[in-house]
Amino acid sequence: MNQAARVLIVEDDDTLRDALCDTIEFGGYRAVAAGNGREALSRMESESFDMVISDVQMDEMDGHGLLREVRNRKPEMPFVMMTAHGSVRDAVSAMRDGATDYLLKPFEAQVLLDMVARMQPTAEAGLPIVAEDPSSQQLCALAQRLAPSDATVLISGESGCGKEVLARFIHNESNRAEKPFLAINCAAIPENMLESMLFGYEKGAYTGAHQSRPGKFEQANGGSLLLDEISEMDLGLQAKLLRVLQEREVERLGGTKLIPLDVRVIATTNRQLEDEVREGTFREDLYYRLNVLPLHLPPLRERRGDILPLAKLFLNRYATVPGAYFDESAESALVKQAWRGNVRELENCVQRAVILARSNVLSECDIVLADQFEVSADAPAPAATARPALEGDLKLREQELILQALDATGGSRKETAEKLGISPRTLRYKLARMREQGISLPASA
Ligand SMILES: Nc1ncnc2c1ncn2[C@@H]1O[C@H](COP(=O)(O)OP(=O)(O)OP(=O)(O)O)[C@@H](O)[C@H]1O
């Protein structure tokens, strides 16, 4: 998926704040927590977010105060106010002050995730695609040629190399451009939730389904649906997906009505699906159904002509001072890197360089890779943005343990989760994050 949307959660109740952040993270997004409006504003000064979800009543600065400040500083930022059930006045005044939407507490996890998904497209719709390397230009030309067709596209490529950007490009170049483009990350969402998110559900379909909801297929009707990291979908759900693709209609969970679909499906994978088919973890019939128009996106190190144009795009996006540019030493350092985490790693690196730089000229010493940044105790970074060394160490240790367990179980996700004493969905979530950082994982058994 494109870099997961970053959601700033502002809530003074510790337990609720943790639960909200967990839900957001399990939905495949990034959550950052703040305990009140003032803390939220200071986080917004040093980090970028795609939306804010805030409580109303908090000490220091309440939700209304925060909303006013956010509107002054970032008029376009999606802002959702969480108001207490029964206090419609708060919701109305929030909307009047420019909130994008509101959530009445208490709400189901799914309601929160739907809200985040709804807020997302405006934040990401206008992403430009950088394609300067001759191989990228050829790929874009090919993507443009196949965009008008309704056939399914399967985009393969390493994590973070821009598969979602390419998928959006295809959508934007198609006749469906004016219709919705929706994305769902099959790796980061728990299986039972993934099914209901894809196909929707009727009220009472399962405990907690208090109201009927359309699934992503229905929401994307007329447009395109991106199934990100399709190889992570379990076999049972693969069968259901195949049926929907073949029949071109969907039935909500607990429903009785078949809803006709006109959706262009684009799937992405960072694994070799042929291998997964051979190993029996991916259905052969679904593979052929998806692989009508295969596109392979090479890793960034194999299209070095894209590195500097991308770095400049990100510099424009993140620079806080006018006229920021890379000097020659920075440019040659950027081009030389291996970029195992591909474009996402490059983007993070430029974001860090902007923070580290002491002037508008960024030089080689500002180009610091993530691993150097986390372990270096005397990194000259402001405390608010540097990850504490302990947290970095723990994360590395956790990743080592996961890799060891995968090794010992021959790649079996189920056995690895059991061995580590965590749920398969937690493991899947952690693996998705590791993949995003460019860590290569053994194929699943
Ligand atoms: N050609 C490009 N032009 C502009 N931005 C790009 C390009 N390629 C990638 N990016 C940026 O790099 C980041 C990663 O891209 P994207 O999410 O599309 O990768 P991905 O291959 O789908 O990753 P994953 O496999 O982890 O889902 C995003 O922030 C995206 O905006």
Block residue for tokens 């917004």: 44
Q: What is the pLDDT of residue 201?
A: 86
Q: Tell me whether residue 383 is in a domain.
A: no
Q: Are 406 and 416 in contact (CB under 8 A)?
A: yes
| Secondary structure class of 264 (helix, strand, coil) | strand
Pairing status of strand 181-185 against strand 224-228: parallel
**pLDDT range class, residue 390, cuts 50, 70, 90:** very low
108-112, 122-126, 273-277, 315-319: segment of lowest average pLDDT: 122-126
- Comparing CA positions, the residue from 229, 236, 148, 244 lying closest to residue 184 is 229
Residues 356 and 407 in one domain: no
Overall number of domains in the chain: 4
**CA 345 to ligand 1 center in whole angstroms:** 10
CB atoms within 10 A of CB 121: 14
Among protein residues, the one whose CA lies closest to atom 23 of ligand 1: 160
**CA 1 to ligand 1 center in whole angstroms:** 7
Q: Tell me whether residue 128 is in a domain.
A: no
| Ligand 1 site, residue 369, Cβ cutoff 6 A | no
Q: DSSP per residue over 31-46, as a string?
A: EEEESSHHHHHHHHHH
Domain holding 333, by residue range, is 301-375
Q: Are 116 and 101 in contact (CB under 8 A)?
A: no
Residues 86 and 161 in one domain: no
Q: Token pair for residue 40?
A: 């939220």
**CA 201 to ligand 1 center in whole angstroms:** 31
What CATH number is attached to the domain comprising 327?
1.10.8.60
Residues 24 and 96 in one domain: yes
Q: Tell me whether residue 381 is in a domain.
A: no
Residue type, 60: E
**pLDDT range class, residue 392, cuts 50, 70, 90:** low
Residues 42 and 162 in one domain: no
Q: DSSP per residue over 410-428, as a string?
A: TT-HHHHHHHHTS-HHHHH
**pLDDT range class, residue 379, cuts 50, 70, 90:** very low
**pLDDT range class, residue 1, cuts 50, 70, 90:** very low
| Ligand 1 site, residue 223, Cβ cutoff 6 A | no
Residues 147 and 166 in one domain: yes
As a whole number of angstroms, the distance between CA 367 and CA 353 comes to 6
6-15, 93-102, 292-301, 355-364: segment of lowest average pLDDT: 93-102
Residues 310 and 294 in one domain: no
Average pLDDT over residues 29-51: 92
Q: Tell me whether residue 398 is in a domain.
A: yes
Residues 71 and 201 in one domain: no
- Pick from 73, 92, 119: which residue ends a domain? 119
As a whole number of angstroms, the distance between CA 160 and CA 158 comes to 6
Q: Are 103 and 90 in contact (CB under 8 A)?
A: no
Mutate to test the pocket of ligand 1, among 49, 129, 159, 164 (most ligand atoms within 8 A of CB): 164
* Ligand 1, atom nearest to 432 Cα: 26
Residues 246-257: tens digit of each pLDDT: 999 999 999 999
| Ligand 1 site, residue 157, Cβ cutoff 6 A | yes
- Pick from 298, 328, 358: which residue ends a domain? 298
Q: Tell me whether residue 51 is in a domain.
A: yes
* Ligand 1, atom nearest to 161 Cα: 21
Torsion 316-320-326-329 (CA) sign? negative
CB within 8 Å of 442: residues ≥ 6 apart: 406, 407, 410, 411
- State the Rg of the chain over Cα: 22
**CA 392 to ligand 1 center in whole angstroms:** 24
Beta bridge partners of 90: none
What is the separation, in whole angstroms, between the first and last Cα of the chain?
23
| Ligand 1 site, residue 127, Cβ cutoff 6 A | yes
Pairing status of strand 361-362 against strand 325-326: parallel
As a whole number of angstroms, the distance between CA 297 and CA 156 comes to 6
| Ligand 1 site, residue 232, Cβ cutoff 6 A | no
| Ligand 1 site, residue 158, Cβ cutoff 6 A | no
**CA 152 to ligand 1 center in whole angstroms:** 20
**CA 227 to ligand 1 center in whole angstroms:** 15
Q: What is the pLDDT of residue 394?
A: 62
User: Measuring CA to CA, how many Å separate 429 from each of 22, 185, 278, 402?
Assistant: 11, 10, 25, 12
| Ligand 1 site, residue 28, Cβ cutoff 6 A | no
- pLDDT > 90 fraction of the chain, expressed in percent and rounded: 47
Residues 146 and 210 in one domain: yes
What CATH number is attached to the domain comprising 420?
1.10.10
Give me the torsion for CA of 379, 382, 385, 387, rounded to 10°: 40
| Ligand 1 site, residue 226, Cβ cutoff 6 A | no
Residues 352 and 330 in one domain: yes
Residues 424-436: tens digit of each pLDDT: 767 877 787 777 6
Residues 171-198: tens digit of each pLDDT: 999 999 988 899 888 886 667 778 888 9
Q: Token pair for residue 338?
A: 């291996």
Q: Tell me whether residue 384 is in a domain.
A: no
Q: What angle do CA 384, 389, 391 make, to 5 degrees?
A: 85
What CATH number is attached to the domain comprising 28?
3.40.50.2300
CB within 8 Å of 386: residues ≥ 6 apart: 373, 379
Residues 170 and 265 in one domain: yes
93-97, 114-118, 337-341, 384-388: segment of lowest average pLDDT: 384-388
Burial class (CB in 10 A: 0-12, 13-18, 19+), 135: middle
Residues 119-156: tens digit of each pLDDT: 765 434 556 799 999 999 999 999 999 999 999 999 99
**CA 342 to ligand 1 center in whole angstroms:** 8
CB within 8 Å of 152: residues ≥ 6 apart: 245, 264, 265, 266, 267, 289, 290, 291, 292, 293
Q: Is the pLDDT of residue 408 over 90?
A: no
**CA 2 to ligand 1 center in whole angstroms:** 5
pTM value > 0.80: no
What CATH number is attached to the domain comprising 185?
3.40.50.300
Average pLDDT over residues 28-33: 86
Q: Tell me whether residue 382 is in a domain.
A: no
Average pLDDT over residues 13-24: 89
Average pLDDT over residues 307-325: 88
Residues 309 and 248 in one domain: no
Residues 339 and 409 in one domain: no
**CA 60 to ligand 1 center in whole angstroms:** 38
| Ligand 1 site, residue 130, Cβ cutoff 6 A | yes
As a whole number of angstroms, the distance between CA 200 and CA 221 comes to 13
Q: Tell me whether residue 129 is in a domain.
A: no
- Pick from 247, 279, 298: which residue ends a domain? 298
